[in-house]
């Protein structure tokens, strides 16, 4: 019943959506193809929206408990982890030493596929490993492999066979892999179609020095194991968005990954730095997203989730941010949220200059088992920031911190009731997140992994 009402109100908001989309979508001509895609995207978002988000958060939490219990002798080195990894010089040493040591996958996503020597013969195993709100993402699991052999991007309308652009515009499901190490300078936005996996494992694949990746009105995309950095805004122009369609695009913002009106998106083990605008932006009714195991550095506005205060339809947004390392020279927005439901769990925040998590317009933020290490900047010890001065307004927003480790003077300002959507009244049956004491372990291999064929990764 409640779900039906929620759906009805989303339909109502569809009218607003159309207005906003045409203004911001970088689509110059809002033709029949885009109208149809927007409509389909809307349906996908409704289908993916989960009326019981607390069950999704608890499922993730219980998986973490199970995975850590599986890791032999983790208790033994937990104290060492905490001591070592809160100091970044020592963290580097630890990371190096662990890379040489045995393969240990500590979080549930990694345990699902890593540390098996035959990973390269069983790449699609990854498609079964997503958890959190993006859990139904399977990417190109149903499709063939496509091997990118050509690092060029010199034809935006009829891309050469063998290029990444040629791979991502196909309408069939595809599991996209790379023939060798390569740096791809994407000359304008790379428009990825539905049912794709971009899988950089086995090679060092950089998307760098050009425009970024755009997912617009698509469903079911995995981006895994690549490096994205030095992304600039594009000039726009005529760009093909699928084998069947191309059109005029306006200037792109210079986001690393821009996700617009898309559903079932999983971004895992991606290393990112220095993008012009956002590192990852999720906007305009994007939902069912998991961002996990990523390593981010050197950036101001890291992640934006819903881009404007009038995007009321973004209450549909449900996002999991888990096992990421927010590292050196980051400033703010990890993430900055509006309207939706955000489960921020077991991440390591080792650097920020302004704040870690922020937002406006009544987002629900469930912060669990994260480590927040405040910078040595007197005015920046608060991990949270509300873009709203009136406490009478924000005191109703649910922003909760449970089991977070607050270090070097960090403090999290909570507000609102514990979880307005929680269906489980019995407190005892709630599954708490694994405490932040394990964060060093859970995030140790954040970022693209140096996987070698025939060796455990």
Q: Helices 32-48 and 2-24 sit at what angle, rounded to 10 degrees?
A: 150
Distances from the Cα of 216 to the Cα of 26, 112, 137, 270, 284, angstroms: 10, 29, 16, 20, 10
> Which segment (86-94, 123-131, 393-401, 431-439) binds ligand NAG by CB under 6 A?
86-94
Q: Which two tokens stand for residue 154?
A: 């010199």
**Of 363, 454, 342, 351, which Cα lies nearest the Cα of 410?**
351
Secondary structure element (H or E) that encloses residue 356, with its range = none
3-state secondary structure of 68: helix
Q: What value does the CA radius of gyration of the chain take, rounded to a whole number of Å?
A: 21
- Ramachandran angles phi, psi of 370, nearest 5°: -95, 160
Tell me the number of residues near ligand NAG by CB under 6 A: 15
Cβ distance to ligand NAG smaller for residue 6 or 47: 47
Alpha helices for 25-87 (secondary structure H): 32-48, 53-70, 74-85
By CB under 6 A, is residue 9 in contact with ligand NAG? Answer: no
Q: Which of 26, 135, 141, 269 binds ligand NAG (CB under 6 A)?
A: 135
What is the rounded distance in angstroms from the CA atom of residue 130 to the CA atom of residue 195?
15
CB of 130 to ligand NAG, least distance (A): 9
Q: Which of 136, 233, 274, 437 binds ligand NAG (CB under 6 A)?
A: 136
By CB under 6 A, is residue 103 in contact with ligand NAG? Answer: no
Cβ distance to ligand NAG smaller for residue 173 or 261: 173
Which one of the listed residues 91, 135, 333, 338 is annotated catalytic? Answer: 333
Q: How many CA atoms lie within 13 A of 201 on its CB side?
A: 27
Q: How many CA atoms lie within 13 A of 378 on its CB side?
A: 0
333 belongs to the catalytic site:
yes
Q: Which of 61, 106, 194, 443 binds ligand NAG (CB under 6 A)?
A: 194
By CB under 6 A, is residue 92 in contact with ligand NAG? Answer: no
Write the DSSP symbol of residue 128. G
Cβ distance to ligand NAG smaller for residue 113 or 397: 113
259-288 footprint of ligand NAG as x/- string (CB under 6 A): ------------------------------
By CB under 6 A, is residue 89 in contact with ligand NAG? Answer: yes
The total of other beta-carbon atoms located within 10 Å of residue 314's CB is 25
> Which segment (23-31, 82-90, 253-261, 297-305) binds ligand NAG by CB under 6 A?
82-90
By CB under 6 A, is residue 212 in contact with ligand NAG? Answer: no
Q: Longest C-alpha distance within the chain, in Å?
A: 61
> Which segment (67-75, 85-93, 276-284, 415-423) binds ligand NAG by CB under 6 A?
85-93
3-state secondary structure of 71: coil
Cβ distance to ligand NAG smaller for residue 33 or 103: 33
What is the rounded distance in angstroms from the CA atom of residue 1 to the CA atom of residue 7?
10
46-65 footprint of ligand NAG as x/- string (CB under 6 A): -xx-----------------
By CB under 6 A, is residue 161 in contact with ligand NAG? Answer: yes
> Which segment (84-92, 294-302, 344-352, 446-454) binds ligand NAG by CB under 6 A?
84-92
Peptide bond into 335 cis (omega under 30): yes
CB of 397 to ligand NAG, least distance (A): 27
Q: Which of 173, 202, 234, 359 binds ligand NAG (CB under 6 A)?
A: 173
Which positions are catalytic? Answer: 333
Q: Which chain residues interact with ligand NAG by CB under 6 A?
A: 47-48, 87, 89-90, 135-136, 142, 161, 171, 173, 194-195, 219-220
């Amino acid at each position: 019943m409640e779900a039906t009402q929620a759906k009805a109100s989303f339909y109502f908001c569809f009218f607003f959506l159309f207005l906003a989309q045409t203004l911001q979508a970088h689509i110059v001509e809002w033709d029949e193809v885009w109208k149809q895609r927007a409509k389909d995207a809307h349906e996908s978002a409704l289908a993916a929206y989960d009326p019981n988000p607390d069950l999704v958060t608890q499922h993730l939490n219980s998986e973490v408990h199970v995975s850590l219990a599986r890791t032999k002798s983790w208790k033994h080195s937990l104290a060492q982890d905490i001591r070592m990894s809160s100091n970044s010089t020592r963290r580097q040493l630890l990371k190096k030493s662990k890379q040489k040591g045995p393969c240990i996958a500590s979080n549930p996503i990694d345990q699902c596929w890593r540390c098996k020597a035959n990973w390269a013969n069983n790449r699609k195993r990854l498609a079964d490993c997503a958890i959190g709100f993006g859990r139904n993402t399977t990417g190109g699991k149903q499709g063939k492999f496509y091997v990118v052999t050509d690092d060029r991007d010199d034809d935006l309308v009829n891309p050469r066979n063998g290029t990444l652009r040629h791979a991502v515009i196909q309408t069939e499901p595809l599991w996209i892999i790379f023939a060798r190490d390569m740096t791809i300078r994407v000359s304008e936005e790379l428009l990825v179609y539905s049912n794709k996996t971009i899988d950089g494992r086995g090679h060092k694949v950089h998307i760098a020095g050009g425009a970024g990746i755009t997912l617009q009105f698509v469903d079911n995309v995995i981006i895994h194991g690549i490096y994205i950095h030095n992304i600039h805004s594009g000039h726009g122009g005529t760009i093909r968005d699928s084998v069947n369609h191309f059109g005029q695009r306006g200037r792109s913002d210079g986001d690393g990954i821009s996700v617009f009106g898309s559903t079932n998106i999983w971004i895992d083990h991606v290393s990112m730095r220095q993008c012009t605008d956002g590192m990852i932006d999720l906007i305009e009714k994007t939902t069912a997203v998991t961002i996990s195991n990523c390593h981010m550095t050197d950036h101001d506005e890291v992640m934006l989730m819903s881009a404007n205060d009038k995007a009321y339809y973004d209450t549909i947004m449900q996002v999991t941010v888990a096992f990421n390392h927010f590292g050196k020279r980051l400033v703010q927005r990890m993430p900055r949220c509006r309207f939706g439901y955000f489960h921020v769990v077991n991440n390591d925040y080792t650097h920020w200059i302004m704040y870690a998590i922020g937002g406006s317009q009544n987002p629900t933020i469930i912060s669990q088992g994260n480590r927040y290490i405040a910078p040595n900047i007197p005015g920046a010890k608060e991990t949270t920031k509300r873009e709203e001065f009136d406490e009478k307004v924000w005191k109703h927003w649910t922003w909760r911190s449970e089991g977070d480790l607050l270090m070097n003077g960090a403090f999290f300002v909570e507000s609102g009731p514990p979880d307005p959507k929680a269906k489980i009244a019995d407190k005892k049956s709630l599954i708490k997140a694994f405490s932040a004491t394990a964060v060093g372990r859970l995030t140790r291999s954040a970022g693209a992994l140096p996987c070698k064929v025939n060796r455990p990764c």
